[in-house]
Amino acid sequence: MAMDEAVVEEVAGGNSLPTFRLYEWKPEGITIGHSQKAGDILDYDRCVRDGIVVTRRLTGGRAVFHDREIAYSVVGYIRDPRFGGNLSDSYRKIGEILLDALRTCGAAVDLERGTLSEREGERISRSLPCFLSTSRFEITCRGRKVIGSAQRRFRNVFLQHGSILTGSGHERIADYVKECHDRDRLANLMNRKSISLCDATGCPVDTESLKTSLYESFAAVVGGTVRKEYPSNREMEYTRRSMNERYSSKGWILGYE
């Protein structure tokens, strides 16, 4: 998350090219949306006891348990016509890129315009997780969410990132949300609303092949003007600084600062 912020700052300042990154979570952890407070929605003490790292994302959205997944991050210019300009168009364009990559890997996925039905979830928990509902232009398989995405805009750039479910594990967020009346029921509901690529295709996911397909699909749209390389020294320094100042700060994560 700190690296995403570093890339946003460097691209916005003209020091780095627009960037497409892929990464995985090791060990597993939980992120919450930028406007959320972990103290309000998570049993933070239980997270600490279980060794689950918690931090806030730079984008919005709801709580996500990051386990067996590939995370993606796109930082681009708002006025870049290849991303469509407005928020809805850029969601759609990036969704189409993700759709192409997953279909290349054999997944029967679709681009949804979004359905939001939360009443059942609200009866179980006030802290609704990300994968309980589908937003516009997210990727689904047989009506169940495969990728959760969020976007935020800053001055002249946008950041969109998300979680591509490669296996089970995301439903474990039910163990850590606050004021949950029936954790097993919430986990089962999440599994009915979402699906991993492993379950969608009926076989284990070759993550390296999937990453290659994602890069190739992205390159086909944006060409060579978007980088997919290691961060610069400036970005690494910014990341270390923001990690110490915010992303590892209990007060900032809980919403006290």
Give the Cα separation of 188 and 121 in Å (integer).
Answer: 11
Contact 93, 68 (CB under 8 A): no
Residue 148 DSSP one-character state: E
Give the Cα separation of 25 and 78 in Å (integer).
Answer: 28
Sheet containing 64-66: which strands, arranged edge to edge? 53-56, 29-32, 64-66
Told to judge if 198 belongs to the known catalytic residues of this protein, a careful annotator would answer no
Residue 49: other Cβ atoms inside 10 A: 9
Give the Cα separation of 19 and 6 in Å (integer).
Answer: 11
Give the Cα separation of 128 and 148 in Å (integer).
Answer: 14
Q: Write the single-letter amino acid at 170.
A: H
- 130, 141, 198, 203: which one is catalytic? 130
Contact 146, 102 (CB under 8 A): yes
Contact 253, 61 (CB under 8 A): no
Q: Which residues belong to the active site?
A: 130
